[in-house]
Amino acid sequence: MTPPNARPDPAASVAPPEILAGAGELGLQLTGAQAERLSRFAQLLLRWSAIHNLTAITSPDEVLSVHLLDSLSILLPTEAICGDRCPSLLDVGSGGGLPGIPLAIARPSWRVTAADKVQKKVAFLTQVLVELQLSNFTAVHARVEDLPRSEFDIIVARAFASLPDFIRVTANLLAPGGTWVAMKGVRPDGELAELVNAFPDVRVVDIVKLNVPRLGAERHLILLQRP
């Protein structure tokens, strides 16, 4: 077990076979090259966190469960909503690139944009983009409220804001017929009730209880669509 407040080992990472096994438990078939990229991303995240405190996670085992597999767990439910369309996706408040970078690696046909207001986090995202040669990934330094009007097919947020606030600050960024994807811990029934009152036209498409391998915590995915 990693001691409390231990600094990450800059050489540490997650072994590709562990990534492949965890993805398989989620029903995902990744290639060896994708697992290698995810392993390299984990190494960069731990290395940068040793200096810039991008994440409180300090061990490869926790990076695998709390970050990589948690991010990948939303893929199949999201694809079930989007069908065969290769979407443009916005990850708001991306932080260390989660879930945006794992999604960009797992789905190279998706066009993924990650936005964050903290410069050092965007510098990290840019470094990952360069080192992993992610041609389908873009990092943007901006507050979500300041992003220009766009039409993303999917907007995803992980521990970003309450559901009403999430909709409020991104409403001008979602394409007609697009989907909001909110990653939550326990089922946010209070936020769902607030959402119905604040945005009665927003439709709750599905509430998915996720089973993330090796993660002993509750996870839910809230899928919403506009009229």
Question: Which amino acid does the sequence have at 201?
Answer: D
Judge whether 5 lies within some domain.
no
Cβ atoms < 10 Å from Cβ of 40: 17
Please name which of 148, 144, 40, 135 lies closest in space to residue 93, comparing C-alpha atoms: 144
Judge whether 163 lies within some domain.
yes
Domain count, the chain: 2
User: 6: which residues sit within 8 A by CB, 6+ positions away?
Assistant: 58
Owner of token pair 């909110």: 182
Q: Tell whether 23 and 86 lie within a shared domain.
A: no
Q: Tell whether 60 and 146 lie within a shared domain.
A: no
Q: Tell whether 39 and 146 lie within a shared domain.
A: no
Separation between Cα atoms, residue 73 and residue 212, nearest integer Å:
6
Q: What is the pLDDT of residues 13-41, one digit of tens each?
A: 899 999 999 999 999 999 999 999 999 99
Judge whether 9 lies within some domain.
no
Q: Taking residues 121-135, what's their average pLDDT?
A: 96
Judge whether 101 lies within some domain.
yes
* Residue 91, beta-bridge partner list: 114, 156
Q: Tell whether 139 and 157 lie within a shared domain.
A: yes
pLDDT of res. 11:
58
Q: Tell whether 53 and 97 lie within a shared domain.
A: no
Judge whether 10 lies within some domain.
no
Separation between Cα atoms, residue 169 and residue 183, nearest integer Å:
16
Owner of token pair 């970050």: 67
DSSP the chain: -PPTTPPPPTT----HHHHHHHHHHTT----HHHHHHHHHHHHHHHHHHHHH---S--SHHHIIIIIIIHHHTTHHHHHHHHTT---EEEEET-TTTTTHHHHHHH-TTSEEEEEES-HHHHHHHHHHHHHHT-TTEEEEES-GGGSPP--EEEEEEES-S-HHHHHHHHGGGEEEEEEEEEEESS--HHHHHHHHHH-TT-EEEEEEEE--TT--S-EEEEEEE--
The answer to whether residue 1 scores a pLDDT higher than 50 is no
As given in the structure block, the two tokens for residue 66 are 């709390």
Contact 158/219 with Cβ under 8 angstroms? no
Q: Tell whether 110 and 205 lie within a shared domain.
A: yes
The answer to whether residue 73 scores a pLDDT higher than 60 is yes
Q: Tell whether 146 and 79 lie within a shared domain.
A: yes
**Given pLDDT bands bounded at 50, 70 and 90, which one contains residue 10?**
low
pLDDT of res. 5:
46
Q: Tell whether 27 and 119 lie within a shared domain.
A: no
Q: Tell whether 92 and 184 lie within a shared domain.
A: yes
pLDDT of res. 13:
87
Q: Tell whether 130 and 203 lie within a shared domain.
A: yes
Range of 211's domain?
Answer: 70-225
Q: Tell whether 173 and 197 lie within a shared domain.
A: yes
Q: Tell whether 33 and 104 lie within a shared domain.
A: no
**Residue 129 φ/ψ, nearest 5 degrees:** -55, -45
* Among candidate residues 33, 64, 95, the one where a domain is terminated: 64
